[in-house]
Structure 1
Amino acid sequence: MEFSKRIALSALSLALLLQQGSGFASEYAEILNTPAMQSELAIRNQLVDVTQVGKRLIAVGQRGHIVYSDDLGQTWQQASVPLSADLLAVYFPTSTDGWAVGHSGVVLHSSDAGATWTKQLDGRQVGKVMLDHYSKLSAQQPDNQQLLTLADDAKRLQDEGEDSSFLDVWFENDKVGYIVGTFNLIFRTEDGGQTWAPILEQADNPQGFHLNAINKVGDELYIVGEQGLVLKFDQLSQRFISVPTPYTGTFFGMTGKPGVVLVYGLRGNVYRSTDAGLSWSKIETGLPVSIAAGSVDGAGNIYLLSQAGHVLVSTDDGQSFVLREQEPLAPVAGATATTDNQLVVVGNRGVRQFPVSATR
């Protein structure tokens, strides 16, 4: 589950939200208070992320739609969701507990493998949570200018009722997890989402770039974002420290396996590291379009998918990729390689599946 599975929907929706003016408050409240509409077309509409939980496939997308399949994608059911905000990412650290995040500062939790969901956080609460947290910290450290600035930003967020978007979610287990989003939003929970604490000051992102994706590859937890931003969690300092890269464009996600991490983004740019981000080499994809998603199958083959629907496959740990023939092309937002050797792809045409073809 990586980002540009959500780039088009996220960018367009965020731009529209920011332009809505006086009508925004009522619509904002409406989508947060209106359950997702049950529809037979949910499986064919815009879906943005997909994951596998045991034998179950779960996909999330526009208007709060969450669908799941227990028969390898042959038939789908729609989950019960208490709101209709656009959802951008889903992650399950266990076979039952999972989280989904999206626009309007939404954080949802499921304890039954995605069949039903409850809201843990929304944009009406984000500003207050941040203001309470940073007001307390800045009072304890009055000479810390960063904390004072974060408290001011939180007050403005609360007063103006600005929309907050969470773009990705990752959990270490059923208790400890992170959500990341626009303008350096990063929150952590240690109680399964019952409470969330902002940790913006613990990320080396002074410009406040959007944080597009978070994922653990091997033993390292990474965040990627705008203008070549790559952050890696440092256990000693308990901070997300900046990892220099040779690229200054936007990264949308990362994938890989122990010993290999790949970050990908705009205009087909992919970079590979085998030393936990200390050095990077550019991987030629031959594609001029953005890489939208990535996944690794059970045999260790690495897949990258473009925003236009191209499928790239690597059988040599990401050193090189070949373009797989796959017609017709259709926009891709997210993808996952399943345990039954299928590549499940979601986008504006709902869910599609292809057999994985690469072998080691």
Structure 2
Amino acid sequence: MCSYKKYVLLALGVTLALLQGVAQADSYVDVLDLPARASALAVRSPLLDTARAGERLVAVGQRGHILYSDDSGKHWQQAAVPVSSDLTAVNFPSATQGWAVGNDGVVLHSSDAGATWSKQLDGRQIGALLVQHYAELASADPANEQWAQLVGDGQRLVEEGADKPLLGVWFANDKLGYVVGVFNLILRTEDGGKHWTPFQDRTDNPQSLHLNAIASTGDALYIAGEQGLLLKWDESRQRFTALQTPYQGSFFGVIGKPGEVLAYGLRGHVLRSVDGGNHWSELNTGLPVSITAATLDSKGDYRLFTQAGHMLVEQAGSAQLQSVPQLGQSPVAGAALAADGSLVLVGSRGVRALRVE
């Protein structure tokens, strides 16, 4: 199962696209070549992720919509975006440099804190990139059957076209970063996105399960995937190694601080580790609803949100989650701490700010 939260929230956009398809058939332009349309309703349209860019907030969502706010979410402006693909995740390692990813294998880059964006990569290129990379490895090491298999995987991507979503993005700095997506799709760059290296051979993921998110806890880098897949970057081995967890359902995200990590996902499951992922304990959420977003508040406490809009709080060191009632509850796909200490939430109903005590 792919990242449930993102596809539930994308369903509305797919339906609208199908309804409009017949009328637009004669003038079809690929969404990868069609700039996002400016809309006064973008702030209320489905949004799937949000992040801080210095003091600025940036949110991404359907039809290539990217919004930014310089007043902690009170007012928003729409960014100039060269594609209309649905965007699923955004990350800023610095105040000005940021990356966003989404459907059709699209990777976007901004160097002005999210006001304007350029396309670095899309699904029409990824398959050929895999074929070339793994063909070179196969030529140098013909006895290794893995390379031939990965060449075949790349060739299938070429034949199937640009239809494979990227679901997560994380950059350590302005140069080093990763994008992840369906069927173990993972690419790494060391030059800010000018060049990308396939990393399918660097994951302990033999079933090619979907990679739903990638995040750092400050002292470790994790990937959350489907069917209980949780990976951690091993610097000495230069690969993402699988961690054993007591839950076999999908994880939708990871959040943490040095010395602690939470993995959250399907049906309200939240796991906690304080030893780098070697051992896990399950936190009781009291909810059968999927956890779809998380952030740290101004006190350093965890705030977790569900696809139905519930908010759970774990105070630092308590190892307990408490549900906090709120007005205007609505589905949450992404959350970020604003400069004024409030929380900004995005989801199927757009963006809203939440004051916290």
Query: TM-score interval w.r.t. the shorter chain?
Result: over 0.9
1:238-287: CA deviation from partner (whole Å, max 9, x where unpaired):
00001110100000001111111000000000000000100000000001
Give the alignment of 1:160-309 within 5 angstroms: 160-161=160-161, 163-309=163-309
Instruction: Give the superposition deviation at 1:314.
Output: 1.1
Cα distance in structure 1, aligned partners of 2:7 and 2:218: 25
Which secondary structure state, in structure 2, belongs to the residue aligned with residue 32 of structure 1?
A: coil
TM value normalised by structure 2: 0.93
Query: Alpha carbons of 1:13 and 1:222: their partners in 2 closer, same or farther (altered >3 Å)?
Result: farther
1:8-55: CA deviation from partner (whole Å, max 9, x where unpaired):
2368879999xxxxxxx9999610111000010011100000111122
AA partner of residue 351 (structure 1): V
Aligned 8 A contact 2:13 2:62 in 1: no
Which secondary structure state, in structure 1, belongs to the residue aligned with residue 120 of structure 2?
A: strand
Show the counterpart of 2:337.
Answer: 337
Aligned 8 A contact 2:336 2:344 in 1: yes
Cα distance in structure 1, aligned partners of 2:248 and 2:211: 14
Aligned 8 A contact 2:9 2:347 in 1: no
AA partner of residue 50 (structure 2): V
1:99-148: CA deviation from partner (whole Å, max 9, x where unpaired):
00000000000000000000000111011111111111111111111111
Aligned 8 A contact 2:57 2:70 in 1: yes
Unaligned 5+ segments in structure 1 are 18-24
Show the counterpart of 2:140.
Answer: 140
Which secondary structure state, in structure 1, belongs to the residue aligned with residue 149 of structure 2?
A: helix
* Deviating 4+ runs (over 3 angstroms): 9-17, 25-29
State yes or no: 1:122 paired with 2:125: no
Which secondary structure state, in structure 2, belongs to the residue aligned with residue 295 of structure 1?
A: strand
Which secondary structure state, in structure 1, belongs to the residue aligned with residue 31 of structure 2?
A: helix
Cα distance in structure 2, aligned partners of 1:341 and 1:328: 19
Aligned 8 A contact 2:271 2:281 in 1: yes
Which secondary structure state, in structure 2, belongs to the residue aligned with residue 285 of structure 1?
A: coil
Aligned 8 A contact 2:105 2:162 in 1: no
Instruction: Give the superposition deviation at 1:4.
Output: 5.9
Query: Alpha carbons of 1:205 and 1:13: their partners in 2 closer, same or farther (altered >3 Å)?
Result: farther
Show the counterpart of 2:20.
Answer: none
Which secondary structure state, in structure 2, belongs to the residue aligned with residue 346 of structure 1?
A: strand
Instruction: Give the superposition deviation at 1:176.
Output: 0.5
Show the counterpart of 2:89.
Answer: 89
1:165-187: CA deviation from partner (whole Å, max 9, x where unpaired):
11000001000000000000000
Show the counterpart of 1:155.
Answer: 155
Aligned 8 A contact 2:61 2:88 in 1: yes
Superposition CA RMSD, Å: 2.3
Query: Alpha carbons of 1:294 and 1:182: their partners in 2 closer, same or farther (altered >3 Å)?
Result: same
Which secondary structure state, in structure 2, belongs to the residue aligned with residue 352 of structure 1?
A: strand
Query: Alpha carbons of 1:14 and 1:272: their partners in 2 closer, same or farther (altered >3 Å)?
Result: farther
Unaligned 5+ segments in structure 2 are 18-24
TM value normalised by structure 1: 0.93
Instruction: Give the superposition deviation at 1:7.
Output: 4.4
Cα distance in structure 1, aligned partners of 2:96 and 2:335: 20
Q: Aligned pair count?
A: 351
Show the counterpart of 2:41.
Answer: 41
Instruction: Give the superposition deviation at 1:328.
Output: 2.4
Aligned 8 A contact 2:72 2:339 in 1: no
Cα distance in structure 1, aligned partners of 2:268 and 2:321: 12
Show the counterpart of 1:319.
Answer: 319
Cα distance in structure 2, aligned partners of 1:161 and 1:27: 20
Query: Alpha carbons of 1:7 and 1:220: their partners in 2 closer, same or farther (altered >3 Å)?
Result: farther
Aligned 8 A contact 1:4 1:334 in 2: no
1:168-212: CA deviation from partner (whole Å, max 9, x where unpaired):
000010000000000000000001001111010000000000000
Give the alignment of 1:76-115 within 5 angstroms: 76-115=76-115
Which secondary structure state, in structure 2, belongs to the residue aligned with residue 288 of structure 1?
A: coil
